Amino acid sequence: MRTWMNTRSSRLAVTFSHPFVLAGYAGELPARACEVNVEEELIQGLSFVAYRTAATYLLVLGRGGQAGRTELRMITQSDLETAQSRASGFDTKQQS
């Protein structure tokens, strides 16, 4: 009998080449490499192993007077893609 973990996590590096903003957070974040943590949970009841994203977090390092501060900010995949798009200078959302 196999025993599967109910959750798993992965990390990836994302580089923002220009300052960017995240929905729901005040202020602009500086251009830099950031770590994204993705938490996934096992989908029960399938005849194969599959996971769905439960939460996505962006690790934000403090700077200036808050240099020792680190925040783990919950974001959506859509928020991440929008921030990457804007930071690259190419915004796929139309402005009204």
Residue 20 lies in a domain: yes
Residue 67 lies in a domain: yes
pLDDT, one tens digit per residue, over 50-75 is 999 999 999 887 665 556 678 888 99
Residue 79 lies in a domain: yes
Q: How confident is the model at residue 4 (pLDDT cuts 50, 70, 90)?
A: low
pLDDT value of residue 95: 41
pLDDT top residue among 61 and 2: 61
Residue 96 lies in a domain: no
Overall domain count for the chain? 1
Residue 43 lies in a domain: yes
Residue 40 lies in a domain: yes
**Predicted confidence (pLDDT) at residue 19 exceeds the cutoff of 50:** yes
Q: Which domain holds residue 34?
A: 7-87
Residue 13 lies in a domain: yes
Sheet holding 70-75, edge to edge: 7-16, 32-42, 51-61, 70-75
- Rounded to an integer, what distance in angstroms lies between the CA atom of residue 77 and that of residue 66? 27
Residue 1 lies in a domain: no
